[in-house]
Chain A
Amino acid sequence: MSVILVFLLVIAGFAGWWLSHQRLTAKPWLEQGLAGDFVGLERSALPTAKIGLGVFLAVVGCLFSLFTSAYFMRMGLPDWRPLPLPRLLWLNTGVLVLSSVALQCAVIAARRGQTDMVRLGLATAGLTALAFLIGQLIAWRQLTDDGYLLDSNPANSFFYLITAMHGLHILGGLVGLGRTSIGARTGARPQRLRLGIELCAMYWHFLLFVWLGIFAVLAGWAATFVSICQRLLT
């Protein structure tokens, strides 16, 4: 359970930092009226939707940390046989990076008000994300053809399960991206469009980050890294 505890520690750090700015030691019964002190103690200047997405991403992060925790705990049992990761995953990683880059370009374009660039960026991001999903499916196919079935070893089960969960999140993101793209075509208010694109980009970057993390775990680097750290400590 160490992965999830570390993750929660990070969350707790955030929460603690935020709470420390909320004057939790104030004596509220002595403070009346609308004094200037209260500026900054009210809502954040960030758009509410971004904060909402941030909280949601914390939940998603929690979910993948838990899968990783379970992965490490199960890995320690004797019947674990690591599976060779298909080379294709490298290509898929590249495609996903491209997708994030395209969305980032769309964000920049939206800030500058370049509508054509925005549309191009959104389309590229959507298509590359779709390509990533197809690539993942092909990777699954390769593995099953080579006999690495879902139920033949827990390492395989975890591989399919975690990649499927990640894929589902991408799929959900594509729905959001689709809605934003429709907005871009039908000419939604620029401010609203910009916010939509920024939200998509935030989600995309996060899922890219999650993918890199689980790629490292599934490839076994994470375990190697942890064992090196443990050796250094002892």
Chain B
Amino acid sequence: MSQDLLIRTAIAVLILPLLSFLALIFFGKRLSRGGDWLGTSILFVCLALSAVVMVQKLTVIEQAIVLSFRWIDFGAVPVLGSLQVYLGITIDNLSAIMLVVVCLVSSLVHLFSIGYMKGDIRYSRYFAYLGVFTFSMLVIVLTNNFFTMYVGWELVGLSSYLLIGHWYEKKSAADASKKAFVVNRVGDIGMFTGIMILYATFRTFGFAEIFGSMAAGQIPLGSEAWLTAAGILIFCGAIGKSAQFPLHVWLPDAMEGPTPVSALIHAATMVAAGVYLVARTFPMMTADALVVIAYIGAITAFISATIAIAQNDIKKVLAYSTISQLGYMIMGLGVGAYTAGFFHLVTHAMFKAGLFLGSGSVIHAMHHALHHQHDHTTDPQDIRNMGGLRGKMPITFLAFLVYTLAISGVPFTSGFLSKDSILAGTLAFGDLTGHWLIPIVGFFVAGLTAFYMFRLVILTFFGEHVEHHRYEHIHESPKVMTIPLIVFAILSFFIFYSFNPIDASEGWFTHAIERPVSVVPASVQAATNEVFEAAHHHAHMPAMVLSLLVAGTGILLAFATYQWKKISADAWAARFSGVYNFLLNKWYFDELYDAVVIGGTLAFTRFLRWFDNTIVDGIVNGTASWTKAVVFGYSDHAKEKRLSAAAFLFVGTIVSLLVAYWIGQWFWGRGEVTSAIVMALVSFALTLYFFWSGAGGFDRNVVDGLVNGVGYFSSFFGILFQKLQTGRVQTYIAFVIFGVMVLFYMFR
């Protein structure tokens, strides 16, 4: 298969979901069954094609394949110089593997949705949005430049907005979609700034071109600090999309969307984009930037893992576990364990998609049982209302158990391989740089993960169901829903990634994804590949033993607490009620942002008002009283007022003469006669004015007038411009014509 054909196949994979979107959004209602078969089959075709691309890329073709074309040529732009924008796609091992992951998860989510979304009012539109979501993610995966990356980035944001707000009649869903959109914007601004820093220096958006120039010694704005800043700013985009520490608040709320969408967001599309971005831009990250990335990842992993322990909503627990695992990936990339970080993204995509689809299956069953009972008050997502589902939903249970084992890092699962590799990386990082906090957090979070995931499984599937009558109405989900679960469960075993169940370094994945050579100057580079690999290899054994230990402890604790009831969770929660409430309320992040951002804006406006009333007016009035005090003391006689008028008259006349002369020069060039006349007129007017009003009048009318005038001026223009916005098309046409006339005048 030639490279050319491979590129074409990749383009087909990219375009097909978009076609699915177009077909379904326009003709979805006309098609039988809302066109779900169309979207699903298109995605399975994509999956097949992308699998072909990946196999070909990994086995036959060594180099990255790039297809690039000039999109726009602005020619020689003033100030900037030659301005051209190139677009293109690149297929290297990273994008080839990611392509398959995205298509696989998306196609199975499509399949699952057929069962889960049955009877939804906007059924075909839902499938259309799934298509555009997949398309946007594929844009990010395949692009070879920051420009298209940013376009895809925003497209992902938009489609997630559409999907999270799918049930927009529900206020919480509409709010959640808005929240996701706005919070992501915050990160995107950083990413945009970072891209612009790079563009200002390199005059191109292409990854390869930028990294090439950087390797040749060119760095942004000639300073290594700017390089670090660019790296961190671009990472800001990942903070937003991948829900890292300061901006993680949107992801749990995104649970308001349909559960399969959550699976898509959490496994393959949205949150993976951030990790993918860091992997893509890894070569340009300086050592400092990487340390920041590692710490952000570690903080995220820790915070969200602690929150997950106290949550009772099945999807919320999974959401926080996703954030925690994303923190792991980011941390892995940050410490330099590039392969491990990306490996965890892939393995996590499989079992996390499975977990969400499994929870979808549970919620579906609960929902139907509750519906059957005409019970509309019980929350079908609350794990306290579940229990004992093992007997009724065997397939879901077994699959869910496999995923949980994988995410907890139990041997023979894929999660064990990748998590172990990341933890070894953190140990190596601690060894090399002395940042021992990161491995400590890493291992602690591994234990927490095992604990809260098994808590979830035990409360949901083990024990007795809380209500006997409802239990009888719970049934296993239909085949379209269980088949994806089985597929994901199978893909959660080690055999697909490495033949050695305890060491990923011999598998095909590690050979396919090699850490790229850093292009930043040697002085700010992190530990090189060889040094890190040696340390990583060295740390492998202790990391494995330790991680087994903490995972085992976590699982045992979970069983002891929730299955055997040796430890009473309620007693512990009561004893540490402060901590428990802190965790239950998600570290009060939402409340914090509410107070800081919204309260801050309000406080700032209050401050401005105070500033205007006290400081600005104070200076104005203070100057007047100060001058008066200096010149005349504090006496207040009429005669002295006249004197003060004379003093101001003197100063005012000189100033006005100067101003008038200057204005005359400016308007009439060297027309000195005119200037003199204007001067005379102005000074005459001023003299008269002062004579009549005195200095107090000057203060009242001119100085206060200037200050208040600014206010009146702005409100005048506000009212004026309000008038301009008539909302009548003809007015706008008139403005356009007026603008054209101005242009005419300028370019005459």
Q: Do A and B bind each other?
A: no
